[in-house]
Amino acid sequence: LCTEECVHGRCVSPDTCHCEPGWGGTDCSSGCDSEHWGPHCSNRCQCQNEALCNPITGACVCADGFRGWRCEELCEPGTYGKGCHFQCQCHHGATCDHQTGECHCAPGYTGVFCEERCPPGSHGAQCELRCPCQNGGVCHHITGECSCPAGWMGLVCAQPCPPGTFGINCSQDCPCHNGGHCDPVTGKCLCTAGYIGDRCQEECPVGTYGFQCTHACACQNGAKCYHVNGACICDPGFKGIHCQERMCPEGFYGLKCNRRCPCNVTNTLSCHPLSGECSCKAGWAGLYCNETCPVGYYGEGCQVPCPCHNGADCDSITGSCICAPGFMGDDCTIPCMAGTYGTNCSSVCNCKNDGTCSPVDGLCYCKEGWQGVDCSIPCSSGSWGLNCNQTCSCSNGASCRPADGFCLCSPGWQGEFCDQPCPDGTYGLNCSERCDCNHADGCDPVTGYCCCLAGWTGIHCDNICSQGRWGPNCSISCSCENGGSCSPEDGTCDCAPGYRGPLCQRICPPGFYGHHCSQPCPQCVHSNGPCHHVSGLCDCLPGFSGPLCNQVCPSGKFGKDCAEVCQCTENGTCNPIDGSCQCFPGWIGMDCSQTCPTGFWGPDCFHSCNCHNGAQCSPYDGECRCTHGWTGLYCTQRCPAAFYGKNCANVCQCQNGADCDHITGQCTCRTGFTGKQCEQKCSPGTFGYGCKQLCECMNNATCDHVTGTCYCSPGFKGIRCDQAALMMEELNPYTKISPALGSERHSVGAIIGIIILLLIIMVLLALFVWYRRKQKEKGHDMPSVSYTPAMRMTNTDYSLSGACGMDRRQNTYIMEKSFKDYMKESVCSSSTCSLNSSENPYATIKDPPILTCKHSESSYVEMKSPGHRESPYSEMPTSSTANKNIYEVEPTVSIVQDARGRSASYLQSPYDLPRNSHIPGHYDLLPVRHSPTHGPSWDKQS
């Protein structure tokens, strides 16, 4: 009915097709498009999200990642893909793509499955944000918050820990002392200059200072070094940045620098400017550095023991060892190796035949059986053993073995001492041959010749014919030669020992001897060849003898058969071969009659002597024989102090510190002394070295016998005491003392000086009275200070010593009644007053000093201050005492009165106050203090 065939349908009317679902068109050949379905594609699809619509049923075929009837819904979380059948593989809260399953990571994570944290330095979504943390801080991979390392804090770890804290979050307190800072990370203390230790609690060790105590102190002359900055705290008598400068000129010492140092200049480093004590150079010792180090010591002060052994000398300066022959090494403990000897083991031994040599002088110690300087000569005949000093006990011409004395018997003898002849029927060496005789009384034990009985003759004693006949009736003469006999029957020759051949005309072949040449030659030791063909004796070379040529010629003989007489003296041995002399160590010459030339020793005088200071060495072993005044292995050391002469055996007799010549013992007197033993001071009017200088003092002044210093009489001054004293301070002859180095032009007569002196005294007395009145008129509201003479004291140590002084206005009561009570109560009773500088070593004049009293003999009053001192020493006080020793000082007493009129006194040394001084020095005046509250009550005395 239908013109065209219905492809996917059926014809229901003419030219009308009823199409199957999903098909359309007039002939049902066209499939439905994607938006339609059903018969004739008449229904519109309801699918969403690009889902496909079934053209037949209209059912939605969802795309990956969607679900639902219309594919309107996404896959549930955790699923993806076609039909949402696949489980997501993402971690750490990540979401996955509902279509592909791709992971969308949460902030702080990355990776295909978001299984990894953000790499360091990034954080946040997709790890795209950079971390802001500094100084090694780590940020949180999600939030980016910084976690700071130890030692840092803040939002981005940019702030270090505040001082005094360290560690994570700066939560720990630093344990450092003395201003030390701790490492903000580890807490380790970083000490300030001058301190070390885990907590900076220790000062730098002595000799170091500064940061980490790495700097070495440069202070000299015993000065202490401040551990912080290395500043030197000088001992009294020294100044300078490093205390390197003496306050006195070089060569002088004392408070006034007017005493000459007594040290030996050549051997001295320095002389202490106050005490005059000598500091010796290395290698020298003694009070004046004129003594060498004793044997076994070296260095500064000769205090360091030498590290040397085995008789070695030690360099007195460096301590290096000078080894004795036979030893080597830094401390001379290593003996010479085998085959070497001598100084530093530098010589090679010349001993032969396994002889050993002495490591000291190379003398050969021969093994048994050998002798001679180099052990090249065997023991002479009749001797054996060590040094060939054993006598052989062998008899009958036997020789003994040089090594052990074993007897080597001659042919025909046997036994331990070769004193037994061969038994009957035997002969020859070791009696090993048997006699071949018929009608004989044995044979010769040496040669084997037959001793025929009467009526018999011939070699074997088997002939009845007379010697030389044979044949019928013995009518034929024998033709045998060389003593051979013929057979009486047929005339054949029976050769004598040593011959062979039909007619016995030939000798035995080399190496054989005796009857029928059947005996082998013995072992000839020193021979020209094999043994003698008849006797078997050896033909010895020159210098040897004996059956086996194994015996050296006897002492004094040499040559062939030992027939020559040696010409050597007893200073050597004779070569047994050619008679040449081998000299003992220390001798030379053809006959060893000449000693080694001066300066040489040993075998052939090969070694040079190493002796010093005119010493001679032994030509035998090189030992030094020191001249007078020297000692030591090589005579390099002077005699010890107080000894001199040969072997340093004489005792010096010098006095007053004089040096003793180590050679002659002659005394070299110190300045100011004379006499053979320096027992006398210089006579009046002379002084100085050798008392050769004349004093130039005038006006009855005395002259110091050492320095020549003039000690002026009262009323005079000047270098030569030739000027009248015009001022009060010049009346004291000890105020200014100078050496008598020259003369002054201006002088005033003694009479005028005395008059002026009296006028000055009167003026001063008037001023003194006026001053006392003024003091009484003053009120008592303000403390006043006055100075009065104290009790006389002698103080040679320049210290504040003795009891504290008191006002003489109260002397009657104090001295007679309560002096003892006051001294018991006073802080200063029986004590030494000194300034306590331990609290503040850098105190200034404004700082109140702390006066402490120590129960001691006397000590320096020392205030350590880095400040400049304008005057290194104090001026002498005014005194009118004549002829007083310049080192005997009369202290003064400071009297302090308070508002109530009570007084207390303090002893002061006149050396304490330098003129123009503005900072306390070593001898500064102690500042005035009020009287102690626990002192005595002076009101009772008023």
For residues 236 and 439, give the distance between their C-alpha atoms in angstroms, rounded to a whole number. 124
Question: Is residue 86 helix, strand or coil?
Answer: strand
Whether residue 862 is contained in a domain is answered as yes
Closest-CA residue to 716 (of 746, 745, 753): 753
DSSP 3-state of 48? coil
Claim to verify: residue 834 and residue 852 sit in the same structural domain: yes
712, 743, 777: which is the final residue of a domain?
A: 777
Task: Kindly state whether residues 908 and 823 are assigned to the same domain.
Answer: yes
Are 267 and 261 in contact by the 8 Å Cβ rule? The answer is: no
What are the φ and ψ backbone dihedral angles of 822, each rounded to 5 degrees? -65, -40
* Same-domain pairing of 760 and 787: no
847 with 876, same domain: the answer is yes
User: For the chain, which ranges sit under pLDDT 70?
Assistant: 1, 454-455, 473, 726-749, 777-942
320 to 286, 323, 331: CA distances (angstroms): 22, 9, 8
Residues 474 and 456: beta-carbon distance below 8 Å: no
Residue 286 CA: distances (Å) to CA of 306, 406, 680: 18, 67, 22
Residues 839, 718 share a domain: no
Domain end among 777, 812, 834: 777
Is residue 838 a part of any domain in this protein? yes
* Structural domains in the chain (count): 3
Within this chain, do residues 773 and 848 fall inside the same structural domain, yes or no? no
Residue 847 neighbours by CB under 8 Å, 6+ apart: 840
For the beta carbon of residue 608, count every other beta carbon within 10 angstroms: 13
Exposure on the CB side of residue 729, measured as CA atoms within 13 A: 6
**Which neighbouring-strand residues pair with 239?**
245
Number of other CB atoms surrounding residue 303 within 10 Å: 10
> Among 275, 259, 193, which residue's Cα sits nearest to residue 229?
193
Which pLDDT score is estimated for 275?
80
Distance of CA 823 to the CA centre of its chain: 57
Same domain, 773 and 820: no
**What is the rounded radius of gyration, in angstroms, for the C-alpha atoms of the chain?**
63
Give CA–CA dist 712/701, Å, rounded. Answer: 5
Q: Does residue 935 sit in the same domain as residue 826?
A: yes
Of the candidates 291, 276, 278, the residue with the CA atom closest to the CA atom of residue 707: 276
Is residue 385 within 8 Å of residue 379, measured between CB atoms?
yes
pLDDT reported for residue 743: 36
Q: Is residue 176 part of a domain?
A: no
The per-residue b/e assignment along 750-763, b for 16 or more CB within 10 angstroms, e otherwise, is beebeebbeebeee
Any domain includes 602: no
**DSSP string across 529-570:** SS--TTT----BPTTEESTTS-EEPPTTEESGGG-EEP---T
Q: Is 25 a domain residue? A: yes
Please give the residue range of the domain that contains residue 902. Answer: 783-941
Amino acid 7: pLDDT: 85
Q: Position of tokens 């036994």?
A: 415
Residue 562, token pair as written in the block: 């030992």
Q: Which DSSP state fits 379? A: P
Helices (H), 255-351: none
SS (H, E, C) 561-592: HHCEECCCCCCEEECCCCCCEEECCCEECCCC
Tell me, letter by letter, the H, E, C secondary structure of 790-811.
CCCCCCCCCCCCCCCCCCHHHH
DSSP string across 135-182:
TT-EE-TTT--EE--TTEESTTS-EEPPTTEESGGG-EE----TT-EE
My answer on whether 918 and 807 are in the same domain is yes
Given this model, what pLDDT does residue 102 score? 92
Which of 718, 743, 777 is the last residue before a domain boundary? 777
Domain assignment of residue 639, yes or no: no
* 905 contacts 941 by C-beta, under 8 angstroms: no
Q: What gap in Å lies between CA 208 and CA 191, rounded to an integer?
A: 14
> For residues 359 and 342, what is the distance between their CA atoms, to the nearest angstrom?
6
Residues 828 and 770 grouped into a single domain: no
Residue 139 contacts residue 147 (beta carbons within 8 Å): yes
Token representation of residue 423: 């038994």
- The closest of 248, 263, 272 to 670, measured between CA atoms, is 263
What CATH number corresponds to the domain at position 29? 2.170.300.10
> Is 74 inside any structural domain?
no
Q: Are residues 850 and 801 in the same domain?
A: yes
33: in domain: yes
- Please, what is the Cα angle at 542 between 539 and 548, to 5 degrees? 40
Q: What is the pLDDT of residue 726?
A: 57
Is there a contact between 417 and 405 (Cβ–Cβ < 8 Å)?
no
Q: Are 794 and 900 contained in the same domain?
A: yes
Query: What is the spatial distance between Cα 342 and Cα 339, in angstroms, rounded to a whole number?
Result: 11
